[in-house]
């Protein structure tokens, strides 16, 4: 019996590419395509796919909200996120919404096929880089516990932002932080920009001063 797949992505070229990639895979059948979250919800209801390949950033309703709605209404459908976004906030938001897997769009054919089969079986699956970072995240001491005794302005930082601020305070540059946390350099740059905004500081030097005044960066 074939695994019925629905592709939800706003880029026609990408949908066509995935359809072509899966067209000669035994026991996998693409039964529909959706351009946004609303269409994904409607087609999930009408077509009853086994697996939905869900992009996160789409016009109208995004992939996170669509995943949540589909999971609430049809929990037997497995949602596999395939996206360009590798930041922790996106990964954990997708998991909380009910996604069973998370791949990056640079995944090759074998990875995609393996993930579709795993998700259809009810397993959880992640691309290697995401899996490595999740293990690091859960193995490390919780940043939330470290934030408890910090200045009030740090409260707006997410756990990942607080962790990155600590690395900044230790003198690590963006490339070193990206390597240490298995993040892309662009993702780190976005986190740093958010940190500066939330701390209301003009630059990285001021962020380091603020962090060190709070006791961050004292040890590696």
Backbone angles phi, psi at 159, to 5 degrees: -60, -40
Domains and CATH numbers, the chain: 3-135 (3.40.50.2300), 143-213 (1.10.10.10)
* CA distance linking residue 15 with residue 18, whole number of Å: 5
- Residue-wise pLDDT tens for the chain (220 aa)? 899 999 999 999 999 999 999 999 999 999 999 999 999 999 999 999 999 999 999 999 999 999 999 999 999 999 999 999 888 788 888 888 999 999 999 899 999 999 999 999 988 888 887 877 666 665 555 454 455 555 667 888 888 888 899 899 888 899 999 888 888 888 999 999 999 999 988 888 888 888 888 888 765 4
Q: With 0-12 CB in 10 A as exposed, 13-18 as middle and 19+ as buried, what is 156?
A: middle
Q: Rounded to a whole number, what is the distance in angstroms from the first to the last CA of the chain? A: 54
Q: DSSP code of 66?
A: H
Answer whether 66's CB lies under 8 Å from 55's CB: no
Nearest to 134 by CA among 168, 98, 92: 92
């Amino acid at each position: 019996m074939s695994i019925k797949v629905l592709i939800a992505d706003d880029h026609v070229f990408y949908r066509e590419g995935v359809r072509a990639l899966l067209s000669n895979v035994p026991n996998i059948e693409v039964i529909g395509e959706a351009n946004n979250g609303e269409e994904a919800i409607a087609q999930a209801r009408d077509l009853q796919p086994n697996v939905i390949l869900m992009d996160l950033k789409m016009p109208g309703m995004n992939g996170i909200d669509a995943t949540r709605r589909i999971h609430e209404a049809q929990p037997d459908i497995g949602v596999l996120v395939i996206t360009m976004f590798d930041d922790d906030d996106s990964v954990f938001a997708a998991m909380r919404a009910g996604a069973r897997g998370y791949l990056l769009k640079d995944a090759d054919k074998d990875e995609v096929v393996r993930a579709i089969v795993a998700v259809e079986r009810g397993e959880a699956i992640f691309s290697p880089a995401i899996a490595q970072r999740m293990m690091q995240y859960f193995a490390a001491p919780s940043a939330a516990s470290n934030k408890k005794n910090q200045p009030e302005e740090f409260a707006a930082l997410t756990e990942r932002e607080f962790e990155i601020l600590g690395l900044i305070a230790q003198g690590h540059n963006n490339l070193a932080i990206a390597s240490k946390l298995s993040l892309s350099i662009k993702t780190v740059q976005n986190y740093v920009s958010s940190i500066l905004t939330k701390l209301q500081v003009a630059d990285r030097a001021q962020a380091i001063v603020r962090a060190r005044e709070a006791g961050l960066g004292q040890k590696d």
